[in-house]
Amino acid sequence: MSNTLGQGEHTYRVVENWAKLPDGWEFMDVGAVAVDSKDRVYVFCRGDHPMIVFDAEGNFIKSWGEGIFKRAHGIHIDKDDHLYCTDDGDHTVRKCTTDGKILMTLGVPGKPAPFLSGEPFHRCTHTALSPKGEIYVSDGYGNACVHKYTPDGKLIKSWGEPGTDPGQFNIVHNIVTDKDGWVYVADRENHRVQVFDGNGRYETQWNNLHRPCGLYCACGAPNQKPTFIIGELGPSLSVNLKYKNLGPRLSIVDAQGKLIARLGGEEGPGLQTGRFLAPHGLAMDSKGSIYVGEVSYAQWSQIYGEQPMPRPLRSLQKLVRLQ
């Protein structure tokens, strides 16, 4: 299997065993990844050490979050290197420093809103910020909506409901914004990304996707249009589990949702170099390398049935862009 993915200017080399974990440690499922202004990498995972921090070469720096987070799902980092950590097991979003100091908590720890009530939160999934610092929260597994907050945590509005029409959701799984304030929502089980203005007005949707799960906006220079990386899950049914060309994969699209490149997915899931199991969280560093967090442990039995699981199971990959 080749260790390169993509084509043209979007060709990447897979770095094997990039992260150097301390002896005996495992990531388990990696819900999300973020990169700060110094290219330090924050891996938000479901093992014993929820937040594990590395330098750009993959050397271990520190961990934090032990005893705080129940189920790592989403992470967003702002221009001041504050981390917004979404815990769908605890129904909260915590704003933290890079050392793990909690600055603000949205939601009530351990107390979900009523199922599909539209009230925050019931298994929230991710966050994004507007150009003014307003906080968007995708919510999630037990809700079908997006919530908008002031920078200091006051609820402004919510939108969305279950369904397939524009503005409705079927697992609202991830959310990003661009520098102009547009809001992009991974509507996973409707196989689309929906685009809204900053107040939740539906604008358009991107199709030609399969269970979009991870979402990352590469904004580029101020005068450049953004591109987006979308992590897509593979089939979930036994009847189509071995279909080709459905993922799991990464898709790169332009600001109108037009496909630019696809990374992997032709042959289905796998542990071989250049293949994925379940791309769930995405981030990019200053050099254009892509970090892919995968919920491999959660997906193993769905993909491989009762086949023994290798330990540790790969759940983080680094893709270096070839110039």
**pTM flag (> 0.85):** yes
Residues with Cβ within 8 Å of residue 170, at least 6 apart in sequence: 144, 162, 163, 164, 187, 188, 189, 190
Q: Give me the pLDDT at residue 219, please.
A: 84
Report phi then psi at 16, rounded to 5. -75, 135
Question: At 2, is the pLDDT very low, low, confident or very high (cuts 50, 70, 90)?
Answer: low
Q: Give me the pLDDT at residue 241, please.
A: 86
% of the chain beyond a pLDDT of 70:
98
Homologous superfamily in CATH for domain 4-321: TolB, C-terminal domain (2.120.10.30)
The chain-wide mean pLDDT, for the chain, equals 95
**Mean pLDDT of the region 176-182:** 96
Question: At 66, is the pLDDT very low, low, confident or very high (cuts 50, 70, 90)?
Answer: very high
Query: Domain-by-domain residue ranges, the chain?
Result: 4-321
Q: Give me the pLDDT at residue 174, please.
A: 98
The torsion defined by the Cα of 313, 307, 244 and 272, in degrees rounded to 10, comes to: 40
pLDDT of residue 221 exceeding 90, the answer is no
Report the distance separating Cα 167 and Cα 249, nearest Å. 25
